[in-house]
Structure 1
Amino acid sequence: MTALDLHQDVSLLTAALIDINSVSDAETPIADAVEAALRELDGFEITRDGDSIVARTTAGHGERVILAGHLDTVPLPTTEGSRGTVPSSWDGAPGEGVLHGRGAVDMKGGVAVQLALAAAIGRGELTPARDVTFVFYDHEEVEATKSGLGRLVRNHPALLEGEFAILLEPTNGVVEGGCNGTSRFEVTTHGVAAHSARAWMGENAIHAVAPVLARLAAYQPKTVSVDGLDYRESLNAVLINGGTAGNVIPDRCVVEINYRFAPDKTPDDAERHVRELMDGFEVVRTDAASGARPGLTHPAAASFVAAVGGEPKPKYGWTDVARFSELGVPAVNFGPGDALLAHKDDERVDADAVRACLAALTAWLSPIA
């Protein structure tokens, strides 16, 4: 088992985490390393569920905050020479400049910050005025039914209680409040199969989706203001499947649609909207996840925004802040790295960005003198 040194610079700790390959479904080695490192610290109550670990201080403060991050990554790049892979590599000396590797942005830099904060608390270098819960979980990058955080919600809901949560997803060190919801739909057209040499004997189901695509191409997405933040929506065809052979008129075609909707809507609201747009076609909702309102008016959230500075932004993608929102815990995204580099073949993060995130959270958690 890889031993994690929580005393080293947080950028080097990020590199050490990247070097533990943890593509979804293979998180056990990194979960083992994180759990072992946490158990070396004083002052934490630790629970493990599968490949998720929760470490909680129990000082009895009147307020509890949650710092959460996922351990898994998307698969490694297949392009030869890609640097966003495992093991990690540096531009220049280790700990200086830019760190490359799978998960550098999404989100081992954020996990390194969590571990560095836990280590500072365990060593007595940081004595927060709030109790802190650290959550490290598996299976974020795959279907929601596998989510380690979802499993914790089902199995240990009391461990996720708190007044405020921060998800250390990459935000370039700027607070991103809430998140859009997401849903997927299948729009199916039917025809009559026939030999392509006698096409007039059939009805082409692929041709029948032309109006579906035309409606999507003409669709103008909205920008919706929610609690002071502007969420940009999107509605797009993302997959199309039809036909059986090169000499057969297809009798069925399916267009998959993804709708990213503002957090003023529920998944049912989103479904009604899509069904109205696709009136006259067969529509089936295949997946949906609620968004999350920003929650920036909560005192803990407001104090956090004031402490880290900058103008809060909306989160356009879906993140697990939505799960905390459903639990009644206001949550924001705040972490190191550029989200536009997540999952890319050249995924990378600046060492100073990871250190800056750690410094901001340390300052916020530190009691006022």
Structure 2
Amino acid sequence: MFHFSTNMQNKENYEPRGFQRPFATSSSVVAGPQRVPVKSRTETDKTAVTGPGREGIGSSSSLASKKITIDDFDIGRPLGKGKFGNVYLARVKKLQAIVALKVLFKSQMEKENVEHQLRREIEIQAHLKHPNILRFYNYFHDRKRVFLVLEYAPRGEMYKELQRCGRFDDQRTATYMEEISDALMYCHEKKVIHRDIKPENLLLGYRGELKIADFGWSVHAPSLRRHTLCGTLDYLPPEMIEGKSHNEKVDLWCIGVLCFECLAGRPPFETESHSETYKKITKVDLKFPRIISDGAQDLISKLLRYNPSDRLSLQSVIDHPWVRANSHRLLPPTYPSKKS
């Protein structure tokens, strides 16, 4: 039933069908009125591998030379719970490295017919290595469970932090915008479209840096054009709502919504009904609260464009005057600037 491959092959044929999404590596959150999926889906440690210079648990590690089992790990406290299992803080015994161990029950995934979705998520994330993308180190399975060995993000989920703070200031939001734009440039270069950028799918690392953590709706599309309706209502771009084909520019729309939500504490098109939210999105009915600065409004309005080709490029987001004036990114980008 569970045959995994790490080859990036033929992702075009794996479409989500009634997928109940596995949880992120943090506790479940209570969503706002429109924080609903379109389809049915449901302490900082010195040795944390998210810190600079820590040894990773990659294919070149000593664990790769033998079959990995649960006995290779010391299991710590739970980090989150979901429909298919739990996420735990864990230590790799041999390396003394801290990781997040996601434990998924095969019987529950088979019942929901989502094995292909898990395979796709593994195949995509295993090939992505970027400081602002949560690392996927390895996986193994036994008769009843599948175990995913993931990077541990000590500062948890962005959505919880946003709920705690109410909103973020310009400096923090601009830093996140630079980080996520750099990470998505890397993804798009590899022909990977994320399609579900939102605070619930973003974790915060050792230095508070953003980590894209959930690739459950991502797709490897060599043509960079898709037709599937997926993602979360508040973040859906007009082309998806209207059933048109879409490409990597859906991610540009999503980071525009993300920027607005970080600064305002709510998504820009949120209403009390699905139909009204749909209408606001397709009309790009965008109204800024006074709390959002002119520079941020300029950036957001250039990303939230009805026509995908009119949306600001990711490099232009990084180069935007508001981002440049406010971003305090600590880690250097790994994706080379076009200017260089």
TM-score range, shorter chain: under 0.3
TM-score (norm 2): 0.26
Structure label with greater radius of gyration? 1
TM-score (norm 1): 0.25
Ranked by relative contact order (alpha carbons within 8 Å, sequence separation 6 or more), the top structure is 1
